[in-house]
Homo-oligomer: A and B are copies of this chain.
Amino acid sequence: MTHTFRVWAPIAHRMAVDIDGRRLDMSAREDGWWEATVDGAGPGTRYAFSVDGGPARPDPRSSSQPEGVDGWSEIVDHGSFSWRDSGWRGLPLPGSVLYELHVGTFTDPGTFDAVVERLPHLVDLGADAIELLPVAEFAGTRGWGYDSVDLFAPHHRYGGPEGLKRLVDACHEHGLGVIMDVVYNHLGPSGNYLADFGPYFTDRHHTDWGAAVNFDGSDSREVRRFVIDNALMWLRDYHCDGLRIDAVHAIVDQSPIHILEELSTEVEALACDLHRHLFLIAESDLNEPRLVRSRDGGGFGLDAAWADDWHHALHARFTGERNGYYSDFGSLSALAKALRQAWVYDGQWSEYRRRTRGRPPMGLDGSRFVVSLQNHDQIGNRAKGERLGHLIPAARLKVAAALLLAGPFTPMLFQGEEWGATSPFQYFADMDDPDLRRAVRDGRRREFAGFGWNPEHIPDPGDPATFERSKLDWSEPRRPLHAEILKWYRQLIRLRHDLPGMSDPRPERHRVAWDEDAGWVMAQRGQYLVAASLGADTVVLTVPRGTRTVTVSNPTVHLGDGRLVLPPDSVAIMSTAQL
């Protein structure tokens, strides 16, 4: 058994690999790479690197960190897993219903294997793909994952490389796709040793969460390769079907070819090679069509982008909240625009941002916008991590679900949403450094104090109880009220999948009418009508004669003689097609 260690460390004068109590010199190769071939090393062997005689550091491209971010790295052989998904050709993103989940809180054990046991629930629900919050190794035993530092190593507490492979394999066996959330705009502060090896970061740009990644400065070629190889690894070695790229608006790249365009080119080539469908989704608040336009049309060639406007427009109107960025939303006309084209801000002035925002999504298919009623950020970044179901009555929640699922966009649920879970999803992080832990807690308390909260009521991210109370309670979906919500979600997803045209992605097939004062909105989705009442009084709407109901959220909704009677907080899905 022999293994060749390789590492990029262009700023090092000498490099060594620590293994079995020995420190072995590495040889300089071209372009800042170092190499050492070691007898007796192979899968399972622990090792570390030393830069210029410094302390043992994890491999920047470590495949496994069995003892966490500060521990030694472990050699992994990606060829040894027995995949059973050879017939899997990938999942088409258009037409899919996504399901976002956090491995640590989705189940009580908080592992990849524990997720596997819940897959039948997701199949039964009708979800098409799960989207995992970042699983790359981050500091401590609990966290959302956005502060990962070992980007190539699935978190050891979740089950490491083997556990993740078992999960993806099981998903494919259940006909479910897997989307991996990846963070390339910054790395976490704790356990981050990359700067010891090379110019991974730059101070020419900066992000809200940490040093910006050096995508366009001197010696950025290998940094770009680092990121692209990471993306390809999830798709190739872990058989993931797609990636969700975190906060691309915080990726500044002034290179001739933007890193996202380069990535989409490489992923297309890999898809050809693997003969599977692969896709890329960007999280962005820029409302920038270039992200999803084709490369030959001047775009980056990604498959879809998150549309937070859709969420904000619905949330503000449904809850009445107007704080923070919700101040830019709240009207029924904003909701109607979201229901029509996902992006509300397509060039207008944003009072909250004090600048104009967005461009019109001309000609883009609806499936290219990922929309949600709630997600980890919109729940977790609230002071107490309240879900939408904590804020509005169940009847209104059912209206929101219908607007989410009976439409042209790609809908995404957040774990437990489908049964109106009572557990919050709070911000939690397990930081070894007590100063960092205190700084995060106090910063968060200050932030919410600005909105009038009592700082003592803000959960402490570092308290294990904050993590524990964010876990789903799997006895809930069987209880009456929750079972009713679950049934409604199941029915809506089934309708979405079974009724041709319900989710027709072509923008010209969708029209939205509304009445701000009376509080109703009606979306035409091809031959379907989705009418919702959000006001205080029952409304009566005129629909074409021959229209019939497909489903209603409330038995008192009545349709007859071309008149639809909608009590407050109710929704009707109708068809205008002849039987």
Contacts and interface: CB of A to CB of B under 8 A. Distances in A.
A505 interface: yes
Task: Please give the count of copies of this chain that the complex contains.
Answer: 2
Interface in A519-572: none
Interface string A256-277: 0000000001001101111111
Given A296-B297, A296-B363, A297-B297, A272 B89 contact: no
A42 to B, nearest CB: 16
A175 interface: yes
Contacts of A277: 89, 92, 277
A271 B175 CA distance: 17
Interface string A231-273: 0000000000000000000000000000000000100110111
Contacts of A175: 87
Interface string A121-136: 0000000100000000
A365 interface: yes
A525 to B, nearest CB: 12
A385 interface: no
A69 B506 CA distance: 37
Contact of A268 (B271, B299, B365): B365
A175 B86 CA distance: 10
A32 interface: no
A293 B295 CA distance: 10
Contacts of A363: 295-296
Interface residues of A, number: 38
Interface stretch (A160-168, A313-321, A475-483, A496-504): A496-504
Contacts of A299: 296
A273 B504 contact: yes
A365 B268 CA distance: 9
A305 to B, nearest CB: 14
A254 to B, nearest CB: 22
A198 interface: no
Given A272-B503, A504-B272, A89 B87 contact: no
Interface centre among A128, A175, A275 (most CB of B within 10 A): A275
Nearest to A301: B294
Given A297-B294, A365-B268, A503 B273 contact: yes
B272 A94 contact: yes
A471 to B, nearest CB: 31
Given A87-B175, A269-B504, A92 B275 contact: yes
A269 B506 contact: yes
Contacts of A365: 268-269, 272
Interface in A500-522: 500-501, 503-506, 509
A265 B364 CA distance: 11
B275 A497 contact: yes
B367 A272 contact: yes
A96 interface: yes
Contacts of A367: 272
Contacts of A501: 273
Nearest to A509: B269
Interface centre among A94, A299, A367 (most CB of B within 10 A): A94
A90 interface: yes
User: What 3 pairs across the A-B complex have the smallest Cβ distances?
Assistant: A95-B275, A294-B294, A296-B297
17 contacts: A89-B92, A92-B271, A94-B271, A94-B272, A95-B273, A95-B276, A128-B275, A269-B504, A269-B509, A272-B365, A272-B367, A272-B503, A273-B500, A273-B501, A295-B297, A296-B299, A297-B297
